[in-house]
Structure 1
C-alpha cells in the first residue's frame, strides 16, 4: 500500500502547523508566565542595580517601638522627626504612613510640613468598609494642604505573589495619583489624561518593573529613634530624599521580591525607595507590548519551519539550542541595556519543542521508507557463506574428503554406519563431546547433534606435519548446532520487529560486501573496476601498493590517466585501449611497466547493473620475477655457451693433440691442461656457490664472529698473495658477533680478497679492517690495484659482468664472484659499497647488523 500521500512529513508547512498549535496550547497553561517570571528574577538578581546615593530610609523598627511606645505615636513626634531631618539637610521627605484620621497634634505636624516645604504623603485606595465600593483614603485636610504632593502607596503583586513592579499612576476616574516614588519628582505633574473616565472606575497606568538593588537592607536605613536622638552619622540625610515607613515585623506591609521570595520579604517603604532610586537613574523597566512577544513567536516558528526540514539531523539539535540561546541573549540585553522586558519564553519553548517534533517527523518518514526498503531487500537474493553447522554430516564428509584426502574415514548415525574406509564403529571413542573435535594421534573425531540424530564423523590423517596442520585447521571450523537458532523467538513488538528486520538486512548486505571485498583484496593480482566512463570505482590493496597512490585518490581517477602517469606510451595510447574496450566490448592484454617492474594487464568489459552500459575490470599480474628468471636463464645459457664451452673445447683439443703424439708430451702442455681444468672447476664451483647463496634462509643462521671469519679468509688467500709478493694486513682486535652463515660469509670475504690480490701489482699491500660502527659490524678490503672505471661502478655486482680493462689486460673472470658477494650480504640484511679511484686502488666495505646492538 502506497502511503506517500500522508501529510506526516518533515515539510515547512507541517512543522509550522504543529509549532503553532503547540504555541496555542502553551498559552492555555501558566507555564510560560512562570518561566518568564523565573527568567526575569534570575537576570535581575544576577545583574542588580546600584542604589542611588541620594536616597535613604528612616525605619519604624522594633527598637523605635520599644523606646517610643505603642503605635500610633502622637503626630507631634512625626513633626519632631521632620524638624530633625530638615536640620540634617534632607531635600524631600516621603511618608509611607497613612494619616487618614484626625488627631489632636495635626497642627504641629502640619506646621512642620509647611516649614520644611517638600513633604509627600501617601494615598491609599481601598473600600472604607466591607461590601462597599473602592474609594480613596486621603490624608486629613489640614495635612493634605501642607503636603508638597500626594502619591499612591500601592505595589503590584504578580500572579505568583511576588512584587516586581508598580503602576506609576493609580486612582479613581479623572484623578490619578503618582506613586510615592514618582511624586517627589517634577515629572509627576505630567499625568495621563483620563478626563472622560467615570469617577468610580479604578485606573492604573504605566506599569514599570523595578530592578531592585538587592534584598531587604540594601538601601541605607536608619532607626526612627536614632534620628530623633540625633545619633545618626553626620551628612546621612543631606540633599537626599528620605522615605519614612514601618519595617518592624508584623507591623508594616511586607512584599516578597525576586531577591527574597517569602523567606525574607521587603518592607513596602524600602520597595518605594528602590523604585525612586531606579527612577532618578532612569533604570525602570518597561514591559514590551503583547504584540512584540507574538511577533517574536511567529518569526521563530517561520525560521524553524523553513530551516529544520532542510538540515541534517545532526545540525537540528545545534540549531534549536542556538535559537534558544539567542532568544535568552536578546532578553538579557533588552532588560539590562535597553530596560525593556520582552517575553521570549513562548518562542524559546517552541525552539526547544521543535527538536523532538522535527525528530519525530523525520523518524516517522524514515520509518515508512525503511519499511518499504526492508520489504524490497527481503525479496532480493544475497551472497553469504553458510555456516558449517548447517551442513548435513554427509555433505560435510564429502567436502572434507575432497579437500584433505584423508587416508580413512567413517560416518555413523547412532549405531548405524553410513560410510567408512579403514575405520570401523569399534574405533569410535565413547567420550566424545558434541560440536568439539577430539584428536587422538592421527585420528580426528567429531560428534554432531542434528535434532534427534547423533552423528559421529571420523578421519584418519597422515601421521606427519601435514596431518597436524589439518587437525589445527579443523579446530577453527565452527560447527555450532543450528537448532539453537531455529528456536529463537521473534520479537512481538512493532519497533523490535522492525529493528530485527533491519538488523537481518544489514547483516546480509554486510556479509555480501565483506565477501566481495575480501575476495578482491586477497587475490594475488591487482584488481581495478571502473564505471562506464572508465573512472575507477574500486581497487584492491595491490594497486595502492604497486602504483604508490593512496586509496582515496584512486577512487574517481580515470584509469587511462593512472596508467599513462606510470607507463606513458605513444601507440597505442592507454586512452585508446580503454575507449576501444568500452566501445567495441573486446578484451585486451598488454605489458605494463611500473617503477621498473614488469606487469601484465588484462582489460575486459563487463555489464553494469541497472542499464545497458559497460564498465571495465582490469586484472594486473606481477611478472617481474618471471621476467627476471627468463633474463637469468638467457644469461646463463649465453655464459655456458661461451665461457664454459671455451675451456672445455681447449681441453679437448689439447687432449687430441697429446693423443697423436704421446711420446712428446711437455710439461708446458700439462700445465696448460691443468689451467683449463681449474678454470672449468672454478666456473662450476662459482655456479654452485651462487646457487647456495640464493637459497640461503635464516634457518641456517647461527652465531658467528666476524674477525674469525676474516682471519680464515685471509689464511685461505695467503698462498696466492705470497706468490705475488702481496702483504695481507688484518687490522681488528674486537670480537663482533653476528647472526648468519659463517661458511658463505667467509666465501664472500675470500672472493673480495682474491679479487684484491688478482688486480693488485706485485709487492703491494691489501688492507683488511674489522671494526664496529654504531649497531653495525664493518669489514673493509682495500687494495692498491688499477681501480675501477666510474662507468663500470653501477654494474659492478651484475651477473656475468666483467670489467673491460681487466679483460683487455688478460685477467680472466667469470663475472659471478661479486654477484655472489652481493647475494650473501643481502641475505644477511646488510649492505655492500665500493669506493674506487682509477690507478690508485679500490675499497669494498661490508656492513652487517651485529647480534646484540644494545650495550
Structure 2
C-alpha cells in the first residue's frame, strides 16, 4: 500500500509538472499574457542607464510656427531657409523628418532653393516611408523626389513597429519592399558620422517578396526619462535668428513636427507620463541609443522557450519537498527570481526576456498542486460519469469492435481482392478462427508477388497476419488506407480496466472511456455535416447559432470565428428576399408549423433554396432550428437560358424560315423573276445560317477552358479582324484607321480564333452602325498590366438606359439602325463571354447621334 501511495504521489507530481509546462508552452505559442511581460518591461526601462544626448538638438514645427508662417504644408523655400540657417549656425548634421515625395510644380524655384541648401550643407538626411498603393492592394516605398534624394547625404526608413497594445517599443533596422534595402534613418546617420567603423546591421538578401515588406534586425528602443533632456528649439527661433548658437553648433539636428494633428505622434512605454511622443523625438532617441550600442534585442525564440520552461518548473519541482507553510514563499521567490533574471539580462546583455509565461507558470503551480488534494473531485467525476452514461448507445456503437464476420463479408464482396487468408503471427500458435481463408485458389508465389500484401491485426487477444492477393496489380493508396481502417475497426486490444489500485484511477479510466466515446460522436457528426454539399446552420431556441458548416459560411460570407456572435436573424441579412417574403415571418412560420421553405438569393448572387426545420434535441440544447441551404443557381440559370433560347428559336431563328415559306407561296401564285427569287431565297438562308453560326460560336466561347489558351500577340489578331471587315467597310465607304505602337508588347494568354471573332464582331458593329463616309478608329495599346483594344465609331449611338442590357443574349438597342441591321443580338454577348473567359472585360461608352466606343481589356502577359 505504501508503494502504491508513493507511486500515486510521484504521478501527481509529474502531472503537475506537465500541466505547468503545457501551460507555459501554450502561453509561449499563443502570445497570451504578453501584456504582463510588457508591463514589467516598461517599468524596467526606468532603471536602465541614461543615454548621452548633449550633442542632439530637436528643431520642432510647433503651434506658434504654424500660426506665424502659415498652414501646412509650407513652401519649400521656407525649408530651404531653415536648412541655410542651420548651416550658418554650424549644425554638424541635419535630419529632416519630412516628406518631399513630389516636386512643387507651381513653384519649382522653391524646390531648387531647397536642393541648393541641402547640397551646400552636405549632411542632410531624408526619410523613406512604406505606404499602401492604389486601393490598398500593394505596398510602395514613398521616397524623396529624385532632386532631393541626390542632394541628401543619406536616406533611411522611419517606420516603427506597433505591439498588440498599440504601443511602440521597437523597430526594424532594415526594411524595404521586396528586399531590406533601407537602413533606419538613425543607422544611415551613424554610418555617415563614423564611416571608418564596421557597418552595423548589413542587409541580407536571403529572399525577395514582390509586394511584401521585408524587415530585418528587430530592436527595442530603451526609452528613458532623459528623453526630456533633448534640446528643443522652435523653427521660428532658427528662422528669425533667436536660436542660441550653442544649441546648434556642432550638434546633430533633428527637424520634425510636434504640433497637434500635423506630425506623427506615437504611444511609447513612457506615454503615460509624457504623453504621445513625436516621431522626430523617437528617431533622436533611436540614434542616441544606437551609437552607444544600447538598443535592446529580444532573446532568440529557442532560448525564450527553454528558459521559460526551466524557470516556470522551479516552483512545481520544489513544492512537494517543502512544508505547506513554505509553499507561498517558494512561489513568490520563484516569481521574483524570474523578474531579477529578466532585468539582469536587460541591463548587462541588452537582451529582453519576456517574463509572462514563466511567471504565470510559477504562480499556477501552487493552485494546481493544492487542487490535486481536493477530495470532492472524486464525487464530481462519479456524478459526471453517471450523467454521461445515460444516453451513450450511439457512442458505444461508434467505438465498439466490428465483428470478424462483417469484416470478412465486406472484404470478399466489396474490396477488389482475389484471395485472402488469416494466420497467427507467431508460428506454432493454433488458429482459433472459424474461417481462415477465402476467395479463389492462387499459387503460393502469388502471396509474395506484386499483388500480395500483408497486414497485422488483433482478434480475441491474439495477433494475426492478414494476407491479401489483389485482383490487378498493386493496390492504390486509397485501397490500402481503407484496409487499414477496416483492421483498426475490428481490432480489440486487451482490456485492463479492472486493474486499478484506487478509486480515483478507476474513475479516471471510466472518464477516459466516456471521453473517447464523446469525441468519436462529436467527430462523427462534425465530419458528416462538414462534408455535406448543402449549407447547414443550427440555432438554439433563442436563435443563437450553434453550428455553421463550411458550405454555409462560404455562401453567406461569414467566418467560423463570428458564429458565436451571430444569431439566426443575422443570416437573414445575408439573404436577398423577394417582396413577398420576410425573414422574421419565415422564422415565425417555422416555429408555428414546424417547417418553412422559400427561394431567395445570397448577397454573392447565388440562387438558394432555404428549408427551416424545427426539431426537439433532448433536454440540452432542447428545441433547435435547422436551416438547410441548397444551391439552385444551376437550375435557375438553366431555366433562364432555356427561356431565352426558346424565345430565340421561336422568333429570330423561325422568322427567316417563315419568310422562305411565304416567298415560296407567293412564287406559286405569281412567279417571280429567277434572279429576284434566288436573291431573296439566298438572303433568308444566309440570315438563318448567320443566326445558327452566332449561336454555335457563343456556345463554344462559353465552354472554352483556360487550359486551351496559348501565348499570342494581339497585333496579328487585330490586323486579321480588320482584314475580314475591310471589304464591308469599303462597300459602305468607311475607312478603318488602325493605331498601334510596335515597341509595345501586347502579348496575352488566350485563344486566337475566339479573340479574332470577338474583334470581328466589334468591328462589324462599328461599320454597320456608322454612316457612309465616316471613319472607324481602332487602337491597340497597353496600360499598366492590361492590353486594350479600342474600337470607336461615329454612328447612331446607343440609348443610355439600354447600356446595362447591351451584353445580354438576344437583346438589341432600339437605335441600332432599323431593319437594315437586324440580328440575333448574340454578337456583343459573344464578345463579353470571350473577355470574361480570358480574365478581362469589355467596356462601352456611347452618345446618341455621335457614336460609341467599345474597349476590350485583357490581362497582359510579360515575355520572360
Query: How does the TM-score come out when normalised to structure 1?
Result: 0.51
Asked if residue 476 in structure 1 is aligned to residue 481 in structure 2, the reply is yes
Asked if residue 694 in structure 1 is aligned to residue 702 in structure 2, the reply is yes
Cα offsets for 1:494-533 (capped at 9, x unmatched): 6776665554443332332222122222211111212224
Cα offsets for 1:177-227 (capped at 9, x unmatched): xxxxxxxxxxxxxxxxxxxxxxxxxxxxxxxxxxxxxxxxxxxxxxxxxxx
* Cα distance in 1, alignment partners of residues 512 and 655 from structure 2: 77
Q: Which has the higher mean CA deviation after the structures are superposed, 739-748 or 369-378?
A: 369-378
Asked if residue 486 in structure 1 is aligned to residue 501 in structure 2, the reply is no
Match of 2:518 in 1: 509
Q: From the superposition, tell whether residues 392 and 828 of structure 1 become closer, same or farther in structure 2 (CA, over 3 Å).
A: farther
Deviation at residue 685 of structure 1 after TM alignment: 0.7
Report SS of the residue matched to 2:627: strand
Cα offsets for 1:134-155 (capped at 9, x unmatched): xxxxxxxxxxxxxxxxxxxxxx
Deviation at residue 631 of structure 1 after TM alignment: 0.8
Deviation at residue 802 of structure 1 after TM alignment: 0.5
Report if the CA contact (8 A) 2:574-2:602 is conserved.
no
* Cα distance in 2, alignment partners of residues 788 and 487 from structure 1: 83
Report SS of the residue matched to 1:711: helix
Report SS of the residue matched to 2:528: helix
Q: From the superposition, tell whether residues 512 and 677 of structure 1 become closer, same or farther in structure 2 (CA, over 3 Å).
A: same
Report SS of the residue matched to 1:425: coil
Report if the CA contact (8 A) 2:691-2:824 is conserved.
yes
* Cα distance in 1, alignment partners of residues 329 and 756 from structure 2: 74
1:395 aligns with one of 396, 407, 411: 407
Q: From the superposition, tell whether residues 822 and 493 of structure 1 become closer, same or farther in structure 2 (CA, over 3 Å).
A: farther
Report SS of the residue matched to 2:676: helix
* Cα distance in 1, alignment partners of residues 607 and 511 from structure 2: 47
Match of 1:790 in 2: 800
Deviation at residue 670 of structure 1 after TM alignment: 1.3
Matching of residues 111-130 of structure 1 within 5 Å: none
Deviation at residue 646 of structure 1 after TM alignment: 0.4
Matching of residues 230-245 of structure 1 within 5 Å: none
Deviation at residue 836 of structure 1 after TM alignment: 1.9
* Cα distance in 2, alignment partners of residues 369 and 456 from structure 1: 48
Asked if residue 576 in structure 1 is aligned to residue 585 in structure 2, the reply is yes
Matching of residues 239-638 of structure 1 within 5 Å: 321=332, 355-356=366-367, 359-360=370-371, 364-374=375-385, 376-377=387-388, 380-383=392-395, 392=404, 395=407, 398=410, 401-402=413-414, 409-412=418-421, 420=439, 424-426=441-443, 429-431=446-448, 451=462, 454-460=465-471, 471-477=476-482, 479=484, 486-487=493-494, 501-555=510-564, 557-560=566-569, 562-563=571-572, 566-567=575-576, 573-584=582-593, 586-595=594-603, 596-610=605-619, 614-638=623-647
* Cα distance in 1, alignment partners of residues 410 and 513 from structure 2: 31
Q: How many equivalent pairs are there? A: 495
Match of 1:246 in 2: none
* Cα distance in 1, alignment partners of residues 369 and 676 from structure 2: 109
Q: From the superposition, tell whether residues 741 and 472 of structure 1 become closer, same or farther in structure 2 (CA, over 3 Å).
A: farther
* Cα distance in 1, alignment partners of residues 792 and 692 from structure 2: 28
Structure 1 unaligned segments of length 5 or more: list them: 1-315, 326-350, 433-437
Report if the CA contact (8 A) 1:393-1:455 is conserved.
no
Report if the CA contact (8 A) 1:410-1:417 is conserved.
no
Cα offsets for 1:283-334 (capped at 9, x unmatched): xxxxxxxxxxxxxxxxxxxxxxxxxxxxxxxxx9999859999xxxxxxxxx
2:650 aligns with one of 637, 641, 650: 641
Report SS of the residue matched to 1:801: coil
* Cα distance in 2, alignment partners of residues 503 and 449 from structure 1: 24
**Which of the two has higher C-alpha Rg?**
1
Deviation at residue 682 of structure 1 after TM alignment: 0.8
Match of 2:761 in 1: 751
Asked if residue 781 in structure 1 is aligned to residue 798 in structure 2, the reply is no
Q: From the superposition, tell whether residues 777 and 320 of structure 1 become closer, same or farther in structure 2 (CA, over 3 Å).
A: same
Report SS of the residue matched to 1:688: helix
Q: From the superposition, tell whether residues 730 and 567 of structure 1 become closer, same or farther in structure 2 (CA, over 3 Å).
A: closer
Deviation at residue 820 of structure 1 after TM alignment: 1.1
Query: How does the TM-score come out when normalised to structure 2?
Result: 0.51
Structure 2 unaligned segments of length 5 or more: list them: 1-326, 337-361, 424-430
Q: From the superposition, tell whether residues 605 and 638 of structure 1 become closer, same or farther in structure 2 (CA, over 3 Å).
A: same
Q: From the superposition, tell whether residues 640 and 318 of structure 1 become closer, same or farther in structure 2 (CA, over 3 Å).
A: farther
Asked if residue 728 in structure 1 is aligned to residue 736 in structure 2, the reply is yes
Report SS of the residue matched to 1:517: helix
| RMSD over equivalenced CA pairs, Å | 4.2
Asked if residue 803 in structure 1 is aligned to residue 813 in structure 2, the reply is yes
Match of 1:674 in 2: 682
Q: From the superposition, tell whether residues 625 and 427 of structure 1 become closer, same or farther in structure 2 (CA, over 3 Å).
A: farther
* Cα distance in 1, alignment partners of residues 530 and 804 from structure 2: 38
Report if the CA contact (8 A) 1:393-1:457 is conserved.
no
Match of 2:847 in 1: 837
Q: From the superposition, tell whether residues 318 and 698 of structure 1 become closer, same or farther in structure 2 (CA, over 3 Å).
A: farther
* Cα distance in 2, alignment partners of residues 686 and 708 from structure 1: 23
* Cα distance in 1, alignment partners of residues 329 and 650 from structure 2: 82
Q: From the superposition, tell whether residues 723 and 808 of structure 1 become closer, same or farther in structure 2 (CA, over 3 Å).
A: closer
Report SS of the residue matched to 1:761: coil
* Cα distance in 2, alignment partners of residues 505 and 839 from structure 1: 81
Cα offsets for 1:808-833 (capped at 9, x unmatched): 46411111111111111111111221
* Cα distance in 2, alignment partners of residues 323 and 424 from structure 1: 73
Q: From the superposition, tell whether residues 453 and 594 of structure 1 become closer, same or farther in structure 2 (CA, over 3 Å).
A: closer
Q: From the superposition, tell whether residues 568 and 757 of structure 1 become closer, same or farther in structure 2 (CA, over 3 Å).
A: closer
Match of 2:8 in 1: none
Report SS of the residue matched to 2:607: strand
Report if the CA contact (8 A) 2:446-2:469 is conserved.
no
Q: From the superposition, tell whether residues 650 and 578 of structure 1 become closer, same or farther in structure 2 (CA, over 3 Å).
A: same
Deviation at residue 798 of structure 1 after TM alignment: 0.7
Cα offsets for 1:234-293 (capped at 9, x unmatched): xxxxxxxxxxxxxxxxxxxxxxxxxxxxxxxxxxxxxxxxxxxxxxxxxxxxxxxxxxxx
Deviation at residue 475 of structure 1 after TM alignment: 3.7
